[in-house]
Amino acid sequence: MLDAIRVTLPDGSVREFPRGVELRAVAEAFNGDLGRRAIAALVNGAGKDIYLPLQADATIEFVTPESPRALEIYRHTTSHLLAHAVKELFPEVKIGVGPATDEGFFYDFERPTPFTPEDLETIEARMRDIKARDLPIRRIEQPKSQALGYFRGLGDNLKVELVAEKGGEVVSCYRQDNFMDFCTGPHLPSTGRIGAFKLLSLAGAYWKGSEQNQQMQRIYGTAFATEEQLAAHLAMLEEAKKRDHRRLGPALDLFSVEETAGPGLIFWHPNGTVVRQILEDFWKDEHRRRGYQLVTTPHIARDELWRLSGHLDYYKDNMYTFEIEEAGYVIKPMNCPGHSLIYKSRLRSYRELPVRYAELGTVYRYERSGVLHGMMRVRGFTQDDAHIYCTPEQVLSEIEGVLDLCLAFLRTFGYERYEVDLSVWDPAHPEKYAGDAAGWQMAEDALTRALRDRALTYTRREGEAAFYGPKIDIKMFDAIGRPWQGPTVQFDFNLPQRLSIHYVASDSSQKPVVMVHRAIYGSLERFFGGLIEHYAGAFPLWLAPVQAIVLPITDRTAAYAREIQTLLRGQGLRCEVDERNEKIGAKIREAQLKKIPFMLVAGDREAQARTVAVRSRKEGDLGPMGLEAARDRLTRLDRERALEP
């Protein structure tokens, strides 16, 4: 075939086609059904629209509705559909940006009049109308000046600003009927191919995320390939509302955010503090058992320390600074420099390594008020930081030990499903990273081998390492399938280099340490907020603020109820007595609302027989049980950290 090009599929299939063949035709040639179902293509890894011509040899992976990349394309195309509908209904609106997200999509609009929930219904109806028109969606490439002229002609100053800042010499836009948007794509080939969608909510936002810019109105939505997938997602959102820690936390008297004190600061109530102390004690015991030394570092330090560490250069906008006696100080935003100063307080021999320092250190960082979210995004939080200082020869065993610790924690708290990412550097751009190529290769090899030795499946993230080192991130999934940020293990080439952290080697020379930074909880606040939602507030017995409550039926058995309480408290169990003058049914209902794992009912018959009627939060009435048997059952569940009461 003259002027032919070769196409290779992921399974190794190869065919020749005439240059300029449409990607859709390539798909059809390999498989007729694939040609009908393909919505886009990855050409040598780059996303392309299915109707574009192919001009050179390529490896192609076709994106179908089931492909991992498909959801992003459905959602991004639906965000354009949203903007198109808004412009048809409200021509005066200026459109901002509309990306796909992990949960769906959003689009930001500038409009003097606020949108209302009724507007959302109208907009969604118009979106369905535009979808039904099955309008072709086509990529248009044009000189930057031409794109600027088009958006200026519309009076759309936000798009003019975006094209001016982000557009190259040639600018790509996508047109459907009379609506065109600045975008790199790819997109579905027509509005008729858009799947199921739903507009969800309204929120305020700032243009480009800066409080210095104008206020925008953000419309959130979600989209899927099928109605069944959308229905399942909406059901999950309803369940998520019931589990929202911002609602359950105050309802269960666990924590609050007090406006008088300021946003993003968590007040732990007695119930929440009980759980926090259990989390802390478990963490400390496990770390001591594994050879960590617990340390404590100050909450403030001279700004010179943060200048030496590099944080003042990279994170100053997120740090709280002040002066004492004309000297600059910083409220601690992280624990790493403090641990390194403890290590450097004297010269260390290779015989002492590894040194493992761990701290539950409270830190403070500035976050914009618009991104604060309950316990998940705050300004003050306690990190469960640990830093390992070791030799290159010790790295592998240390990483494996950290992974074992991470998995043990996940199992303990009932996170059965998790995913692992390995983020590595981009060797083509070493100028973006601290450390040298040999160090990066050593670190990457250690992380990779540790994951393989532990038989952990992982996704390799090229070029997504932090500037100071490669890392492993573990994403844990809760009871309703939502991902949460979990443990992280990362190398740090920056601090040993900037703070001159060394050890004395066997040949008496001083060599730089290998520094591993890791966190299991991440922060107590975020982890606790996630636990509230994971358990829907119904903590397993070992974590419950109140593990059992004794419910006397009449005043005559109040003394017996207090005797039961004393017996259980003697075993270290957290037990309360409800002595209110209420009917037993009301007491049981309230205990259920408080999500107390066990209710021990004590009436005249129980007092005479030295028993209790045991009621489980989950299983209901368990019948009468001797005092010692009830005590032993609760003690065993507590000791074993059982996940079910």
Contact 546, 575 (CB under 8 A): yes
CA distances from 298 to 222, 330, 342, 446, 578 (A): 45, 11, 11, 33, 43
Single-letter amino acid code for the residue at 387: H
Which residue, 592, 616, 609, 310, is CA-closest to 468? 310
Q: Count CB-CB contacts under 10 A for residue 63.
A: 22
What's the burial of 160, exposed, middle or buried (CB within 10 Å: 0-12/13-18/19+)?
buried
55 is catalytic: no
**Which residue do the tokens 């640990």 mark?**
386
290 is catalytic: no
The pair phi, psi for residue 549, each rounded to 5°, is: -130, 135
- In the set 76, 365, 595, 615, the catalytic residue is 365
Residue 94, CB-side half-sphere exposure with 13 Å CA sphere: 19
- Strand pairing report for 4-8 and 58-63: parallel
Question: Nearest 5°: CA angle at 134, between 129 and 137?
Answer: 115
- In the set 183, 336, 406, 575, the catalytic residue is 336
- In the set 49, 159, 181, 383, the catalytic residue is 383
Which residue, 410, 412, 409, 388, is CA-closest to 399? 388
387 is catalytic: yes
Residue 477, CB-side half-sphere exposure with 13 Å CA sphere: 8
Give the integer Cα–Cα distance in Å for 396 and 402.
Answer: 10
283 SS3 class: helix
Question: Nearest 5°: CA angle at 541, between 535 and 543?
Answer: 65
Which helix (DSSP H) or strand (DSSP E) does residue 601 occupy? Answer: strand 598-602
- In the set 126, 332, 348, 387, the catalytic residue is 387
383 is catalytic: yes
- In the set 119, 156, 384, 385, the catalytic residue is 385
Phi-psi region of 641 (alpha: psi -120 to 50; beta: other; left: phi over 0): left
- In the set 517, 518, 534, 587, the catalytic residue is 517
Q: Count CB-CB contacts under 10 A for residue 2.
A: 5
Contact 382, 524 (CB under 8 A): yes
336 is catalytic: yes
608 is catalytic: no
551, β-bridge pairs: 601
State the Cα torsion 475-476-480-481 to the nearest 10°.
40
Q: Count CB-CB contacts under 10 A for residue 349.
A: 11
Which residue, 457, 522, 524, is CA-closest to 488? 522
State the Cα torsion 456-462-468-469 to the nearest 10°.
30
287 is catalytic: no
Which of the residues are catalytic? 336, 365, 383, 385, 387, 471, 517
